[in-house]
Structure 1
Amino acid sequence: MSMPELILIAAVAANRAIGKDNRLLWQIPADMAHFKSLTNGHTVLMGRKTWESLPARFRPLPGRRNLVVSRQADYSAPGAELAPSIESALTLATDAEKIFVIGGEEIYRQTLALAQRLEITEVHQTPDADAWFPEITATDWQETQRNPQEGYAFVTYLRR
């Protein structure tokens, strides 16, 4: 049985910023649509804080299997499956074709080394932030696709 493809998906500023006060830094409708089209029908993996940052009407994210990692044993995330660690979440989803990691910072850090692909919306801003995406190094990652837009670009990286 083959393992699922692990893909990190994020909107990342020029300074690697991804969030502040447990919120996204911008609302780009085309980015939201891009996120939905890529993740729809697949498994999404997120941390507790990312789950809590989703608007209530989008919890769980519709049309996707939602996995939430939380170390709190009594945590409740109705409509999602809970796992105490990244490892156990990935074990739960061994039957998936693709697993999209959707945040936040801590979860991205722990999964970057395991990922085969990155789907990054590069936002041409340098906002104030308190959550960051890990560095995407040219030694590990090769840009294979770039779709420039006004003020941002959709970029795909594959592991070298």
Structure 2
Amino acid sequence: MVLVAAVAENGVIARDGAIPWDLREDMLHFRRTTTGHAIIMGRTTYQEMGALPNRTSIVLTRDTSFTADDAIVVHTIDEALQAAARTHPGQPAMVVGGAQTYRLALEAGAQTQILSEVHQSPEGDTYYPEFDREEWAEERREPHDGFDIVWLHRKHA
């Protein structure tokens, strides 16, 4: 399971349900990284961005009455991972938000994070979950205008 997120220096990932910056190059990176994969997202994220082309959208929600015609709806992170394995065998599931879904994925033992570290500190109301950076090895860093893409892999004890 791979977490894919854009995170500001102050931890912000959204404000009023929207990304509070406009970095076209980061959006292209997101598209390249997630195309052809199962993407796991929370209901709020799904309602903001909808199903994305050339990806299987898996919506994680506590709302048992929620339905979506263009996505697979599940109610636990384990169900989300099973759906991803069925639809894209042998490929990692990509977790694309929001904050609660990222937190659940980290708690479930996600092994990789691909973070766009945005060089801004905008106001926001949604934050990426805190994690112990000492438990993660930085495998690669790619600088871009306004952000760095950082690949982190969980260290094993």
| TM-score > 0.5 by shorter chain | yes
* Backbone CA RMSD of aligned residues: 1.2
Deviations 1:50-69 (A, max 9, x none): 00111xxxx32110111001
Shift of 1:11: 0.4
Shift of 1:93: 2.1
The answer for the alignment partner of 1:45 in structure 2 is 40
User: Match for 2:36: what amino acid?
Assistant: G
The answer for the alignment partner of 1:106 in structure 2 is 100
Shift of 1:89: 1.2
User: Match for 1:13: what amino acid?
Assistant: A
Q: Distance in 2 between matches of 1:9 and 1:127?
A: 19
Q: Distance in 1 between matches of 2:140 and 2:20?
A: 24
SS at structure 1 position matched to 2:30: helix
Shift of 1:28: 1.0
The answer for the alignment partner of 1:79 in structure 2 is 70
Q: Percent identity?
A: 36
Residue from 65, 72, 80 that aligns with 2:56: 65
Q: Distance in 2 between matches of 1:121 and 1:136?
A: 16
Trace 1:22-41 onto structure 2 (pairs within 5 A). 22-41=17-36
Trace 1:134-145 onto structure 2 (pairs within 5 A). 134-145=129-140
Could you tell me which runs of 5 or more consecutive residues in structure 2 were left unpaired when the two chains were aligned: none
SS at structure 1 position matched to 2:51: coil
Whether contact under 8 Å (2:23, 2:146) holds in the other structure is no
Q: Does 1:15 align with 2:10?
A: yes
Runs of 4+ in structure 1 over 4 Å off? none
Could you tell me which runs of 5 or more consecutive residues in structure 1 were left unpaired when the two chains were aligned: 1-5
Q: Does 1:120 align with 2:88?
A: no
Whether contact under 8 Å (1:60, 1:78) holds in the other structure is no
Q: Distance in 1 between matches of 2:64 and 2:29?
A: 34
Q: Distance in 2 between matches of 1:52 and 1:138?
A: 31
Q: Distance in 2 between matches of 1:94 and 1:38?
A: 17
User: Match for 2:61: what amino acid?
Assistant: S
The answer for the alignment partner of 1:130 in structure 2 is 125
Q: Say how many residue pairs are matched.
A: 151
Q: Distance in 1 between matches of 2:13 and 2:4?
A: 11
Whether contact under 8 Å (2:5, 2:114) holds in the other structure is yes
Whether contact under 8 Å (1:105, 1:131) holds in the other structure is yes
TM-score by length of 1: 0.90
